Structure 1
């Protein structure tokens, strides 16, 4: 009797790779980048400030065989999202979906190697936020209180949180401050502090109304927080600005911080009495780090973020962000975690950046000023070039400025002449004279031994710097190794040896140089990305295999990768020169409205002096009725129309009597600005360092109205007045020099035009103080 054939065995489903988990007895590093908002494309400053910097460090650790995961994603809840949704007339969910995809496309193009790029508007996020809240609440670290909040009674019929309010800053008078922060002076605000507030949606003036909210009791957590900070900051070697900002918050004493908002789009508060509220973004957003980790590791996220003692793992959390995010990551978020009384993984090292400005001001998508992620793609300039320039210009310790001329110089003089030239010479000559076959390496060649030693000195310094998260210095060391390669080729001159019949010596030098090219590709891979290193590997006939043959070694050996007889590939152009015409076109395209007021090249020059400074006498001072920080001053600068009205935020450091009659230095070519409802016609310059503030002054007998200028430097003052951003750019090179002198660009002292022996004085402010 015939039997039916057996059914074919089922093909087992492909196994998913095991989620990356911390490993006992190994070095485990958790790298995070500040989560970008979903309300715009990221600009170059956003990219270098967190995402790209974290990518470099995570790549480096992978190439050193460290168990590391890099976690990032979009921050999708809060006022910014609701506001953007209103502007585009879509739902918050649609806004999140749109901008999450746009961000991911930009980061993919920039060759950012996240282990996971997730988002915060997920059920997992809600679950973990509420879990943390219940722990904090049940442990007695949440307080209820009634606060007076702005309420739009005219049209919107709702409480106005954060960015739903605009008004004048009570600190500096800037008339377009947001309800959470002033973009002019950087001060963090509450909406109720704004002067002459308006609803951002309908433009009406809101009323004050009482409402109940929940507060994180930071004063109660402060002793534990201060103890944790002391240990963590020392062990993790925090950056200077992170230390200073955290110490200031602790020194001034912590206050209870509101953790709820009257919004619809967010994680709901799981208390019946607060069911119509959501959690404030800075209680909710940092939870994105563990919730996005869950998208990568499933339930294994807890092994990274709340490891149990039995797990026996050591985890270091390294976080990257701009300086404006520091207090939330060093005070608020660790405070909440401490309040849970669970063993959460907390901050080990924090790497922060200052601001990257664009040519003559700040990036502004609405005004078409600056390069945003999608713009970088549209330029046709490869991502490797953008990565190199941004990392070499990383604003570490002070603000930095993007300029098109500098980008072109870095590309043409460094990437092409140093790096590209070295790789091209090696691969081309190897292909031309040895048919691409790696020749024999002469082991006892004295110059090979000498250069191997020099290379290893640089390599050890490179490793040390990257371990310290000194990214800009690490990139310079990587390029120093490439420079040694050029020096080696020039010294050995294999083309000359080959021509003279010294084929073996020529071949040996090329075998050495080709292996050094591999090392150069590896040490630059964290900075320039896979796209760069894959191109180099391809030219050398190697398959680029992450985790296998892209490991950065402890020591360079001249035959480590390419052995005698191996076949290499052919050379290809890695970088293309940027021409003056291209740069001019880019500057025009991305200059926005600023090009309309830049009438001469001096005004566009990064170091040109464009400020109209004059000696003024304060003839009258009175308090601003609506602000306890502002004066309304009348300053005589010798004009026929009489004294100018100037709003000055000096009440914290001067009394009216102290200022009255004082000689000051006034910026006279600023565009008039409405500051806290008063038209201000200039700016009194001050020197500031470590919270010590003094007005700039001159001798009391100096003539009112006299010009103040940098001695030995030409001054070009355009016909158009400077707006706030243009002033910030024009004044950024002013600093306090030695003996209270005020200097421009580190060398030109500010003096009286009528008598250059009379200098402007910062009145005892220490050297290095800022002028503003």
Structure 2
């Protein structure tokens, strides 16, 4: 594992020593084939006990009631998928889990608005989520759902353990009740004016504008979302998670995680967690007066279900259980089997993953795996406003599928603008600029010119190398430094910074190509061999870029490595480079014949961007998203 405390080298400050150059040249010339090991049997993933790093990755479960937009995907599903692909290249034993969160008020409200049953809504949108993620190449070992018998069983068992250990209390709660419907209005069935920012359409559990969490009775001028009538206040008996009782233990856990240099908690995760703990925890209601949810297994509460934010995080466990019979080895491991849990989300999900869910697992005292790395992003906005599933503002997943732009380019741009430390924005003109400058003219240009030169002047055979000049070893030494920086950024889940390391290597490659002018040297007998050395070095770096870009752009990465370089997928690995202390080795054997080089990217022109911005700015999603049902 990399030392995460080591300072990350910025490209502008790379210092190359004579020893760096000597080592770069020696290891590059010493070719040896490497095939990455296979650590698990398909469909039966188990943690390993032989020193292999066991990494479990979860994405915040997307709520099933709507079409995911680009802002949803970048903070959770896309980022988690990228990191999982990287971990595979790094040789870790990886289990990646996600699925649709399907219970709760929003699903009931959506079912009412579309005149369908909650189950029909879940089936419809679960398939839509699967289709969108498949197109975006967002893949997990298993993408499940929370409306399963296994989920109900695990949620109820965990609740019973909390109940038996005295971490559940009972109390009466004042709730809004619609006399016309007639029913208690849980969360998303009521809207009104936010008492803090005075936003007109705040929901019964949270204000979309200022982000404040609240109880529905706090709303000013509340209205029933079904009939628009003003509800009355009535009392209802509910169950609460006694957070104050576990607060000391939770405080110790959070403090240890934040202060442990081997743990990665993003800045906003630390700030939000500390804010909740500093203000003091209060008992949190975990039941709702609904029909669509996990039933409470107590006779006195048989007409209630669990609040979605109590049962949803437990979905990580139940989805794993639906995937493999070895689920307890991941979630309740033995002492000799360390599991590193990485959890990806946007910052609004931090309280539930840093406070509520760990509190449940700590209180249960059953040896559950707790989050070690909590990776939360800021928000990605759309142009000069916010993405909104409910109002159809922004580019939605199904819009991107119909855009005519390949999914790898969408993935790249979202990750290039990933809101790691501050809010970012999807901007159409910037989308065009980044595609044309970074992908077409930089990365694509370097890969294509390197491999095309091999094809044109060397009959598609990678030229052999017996000697490197100082200009070559200096170039390779810089690549090694940047590759090590890329690896550290990936280990720290700085996905945006790592993608810039890839682009910097491509720029250095173009500069190396330009400075050595192999197109001139190849035409003279006395310098053709030198031309071959330059091209061989460039082609090897181009191939390396295929592996480095693969987590971000899976299709492009495979096109470079498998189709154009004609290397087996089993050799696409960082393991040997890691063993060589991040010194890049030669990837092509002597006499290797490459495949056919073809351009990787196409230019996007202003007319196309104008058309896309007019057609795919949420209009199609608006027809799908009736009402205000975001999670």
Which TM-score applies when normalising by structure 1? 0.73
Cα deviation for residue 533 of structure 1 reads: 1.2
1:296 positional shift:
2.1
Q: CA deviation at 1:456?
A: 0.5
Structure 1 alignment gaps of length 5 or more: 1-14, 594-772
Paired position in structure 2 for 1:734: none
Q: Is the contact made by 1:215 and 1:257 (CA closer than 8 Å) also made in structure 2?
A: yes
Q: Is 1:551 matched with 2:574?
A: yes
CA contact (8 A) 1:441 1:509 kept: no
**How far, CA to CA, are the matches of 2:617 and 2:482 in structure 1?**
40
* C-alpha contact (below 8 Å) 1:141/1:339 kept by paired residues: yes
Partner of 2:210: 185
Say which of 338, 347, 350 aligns to 2:371.
347
Instruction: Work out whether residues 468 and 533 of structure 2, in 8 Å CA contact, stay in contact via their aligned partners in 1.
Output: no
Aligned to 2:599: 573
Q: Following superposition of structure 1 onto structure 2, how do residues 612-623 of structure 1 map, counting pairs within 5 Å?
A: none
- Find the aligned partners of 2:585 and 2:591 in 1 and give their Cα distance: 12
The Cα offsets for residues 542-576 of structure 1, whole Å up to 9 and x where unpaired, read as 24425x43336225667632122111111112111
CA deviation string 1:312-361 (max 9, x = no partner):
10111110001100000000000011110111100111111111111121
Contact 1:233/1:349 (8 A) holds in 2? no
Aligned partner of residue 267 in structure 1, secondary structure: coil
C-alpha offsets along residues 46-102 of structure 1, whole Å, 9 cap, x if unaligned? 010111111121111110001111110100011111111111111111111111111
- 1:420: Cα distance to partner? 0.5
Kindly indicate which of the two structures has a greater share of residues assigned to helix: 2
Q: Deviations over 1:649-689 (max 9, x none)?
A: xxxxxxxxxxxxxxxxxxxxxxxxxxxxxxxxxxxxxxxxx
The alpha-carbon distance between structure 1 residues 580 and 344, as it changes in their structure 2 partners (threshold 3 A), is: same
Select between 91-100 and 500-509 the one with higher mean Cα deviation.
500-509
Aligned equivalents of 1:375, 1:448: Cα separation in 2: 46
Instruction: Kindly report which structure 2 residues correspond to 1:629-668, keeping only aligned pairs within 5 A, or say none.
Output: none
3-state secondary structure, aligned to 2:601? coil
Structure 2 CA distance for partners of 1:470 and 1:366, relative to 1, 3 Å? closer
Inter-CA distance 265–366: structure 2 relative to 1 (3 Å threshold): closer
Please give the per-residue CA displacement for 1:493-548, whole angstroms capped at 9, x wherever unaligned. Answer: 2111111222211112211111111111111111112x1111112443424425x4
Q: Distance in 2 between matches of 1:557 and 1:443?
A: 18
Check whether the contact 1:59–1:113 (CA below 8 A) recurs between aligned residues. Answer: no
- 2:416 pairs, out of 372, 376, 392, with 392
Which residue pairs with 2:140 in the alignment?
114
Task: Tell me how far apart the structure 2 counterparts of residues 365 and 258 of structure 1 sit (CA, whole Å).
Answer: 26
CA distance in 2, matches of 1:114, 1:398: 27
Query: What is the distance in 1 between the residues matched to 2:353 and 2:474?
Result: 47
Corresponding residue for residue 230 of structure 1:
255
Q: Contact between 1:512 and 1:558, CA under 8 Å: does it hold in 2? A: no
Decide which of 542, 559, 562 is 1:517's aligned counterpart.
542
Given that residues 463 and 535 in structure 2 are in contact (C-alpha distance below 8 angstroms), is that contact kept between their aligned partners in structure 1? Answer: yes
Q: In the TM superposition, what is the alpha-carbon distance from 1:590 to its structure 2 partner? A: 3.3
SS of the aligned residue for 1:304 comes to helix
Question: Which residue pairs with 1:129 in the alignment?
Answer: 155
- Give the conservation status (yes or no) of the 8 Å contact 1:136–1:339: yes
Counterpart selection for 2:68 from 42, 58, 65:
42
Query: Contact 2:447 / 2:542 at 8 angstroms: preserved in 1?
Result: yes
Distance in 1 between the 2:221 and 2:584 partners? 70
Gaps of 5+ in 2: 1-39, 620-631
SS at match of 1:286: coil
CA contact (8 A) 1:215 1:259 kept: yes
Q: Which residue of 2 aligns with 1:260?
A: 287
Count of equivalent residues: 573
Counterpart of 2:500 (choices 467, 476, 479) is 476
The CA deviation at 1:294 is: 1.4
Shift of 1:472: 0.9
Task: From the superposition, tell whether residues 283 and 367 of structure 1 become closer, same or farther in structure 2 (CA, over 3 Å).
Answer: closer
Give the alignment's Cα RMSD to 1 decimal.
1.6
Deviation at 1:16, TM superposition (A): 7.3
Query: 2:375 is paired with a residue of what secondary structure?
Result: strand
Tell me, what secondary structure is at the counterpart of 1:183? coil
1:295 to 1:551, Cα distance in 2 relative to 1, 3 A = farther
Change (3 A) 1:228 1:16: closer
- Classify the secondary structure of the residue corresponding to 2:551: helix
Q: 584, 594, 597: which one pairs with 2:610?
A: 584
Distance 2:278 2:583 in 1: 52
- The answer as to 2:88 corresponding to 1:62 is yes
CA distance in 1, matches of 2:212, 2:584: 55
Distance in 2, Cα, partners of 1:127 & 1:364: 34
Q: Considering Cα pairs closer than 8 Å and 6+ residues apart, tell me whether 1 or 2 has the greater RCO.
A: 2
The answer on whether the counterparts of 1:369 and 1:590 sit within 8 Å (CA) in structure 2 is: no
Q: Is the 8 A contact 2:89 2:572 kept in 1?
A: no
1:72 aligns to what SS in structure 2? strand
Contact 1:41 1:374 in 2 (8 A): yes
Q: Is the 8 A contact 2:561 2:569 kept in 1?
A: no
Matched, 1:31 2:54: no
Q: Distance in 2 between matches of 1:494 and 1:424?
A: 14
CA distance in 1, matches of 2:178, 2:552: 49
Paired residues of 1:49 and 1:352 also in contact (CA < 8 A): yes
CA contact (8 A) 1:534 1:544 kept: no
Deviates more, 1:86-95 or 1:404-413: 86-95
The 10-residue stretch of structure 1 (207-216 or 558-567) with the greater mean CA deviation from structure 2? 558-567
Asked if the contact 1:323–1:354 (Cα under 8 Å) also holds between the matched residues in 2, the reply is: yes
Tell me how far 1:591 sits from its aligned partner. 4.4
Matches for 1:51-200 after TM superposition, within 5 Å: 51-154=77-180, 156-200=181-225
Partner SS state of residue 569, structure 2: coil
2:396–2:618 Cα contact (<8 Å) kept: no
Q: When the two structures are superposed, what TM-score results if normalisation uses the length of structure 2?
A: 0.88
Q: Distance in 2 between matches of 1:432 and 1:96?
A: 54
Compared CA separation, residues 400 and 262, structure 1 to 2 (3 A):
same
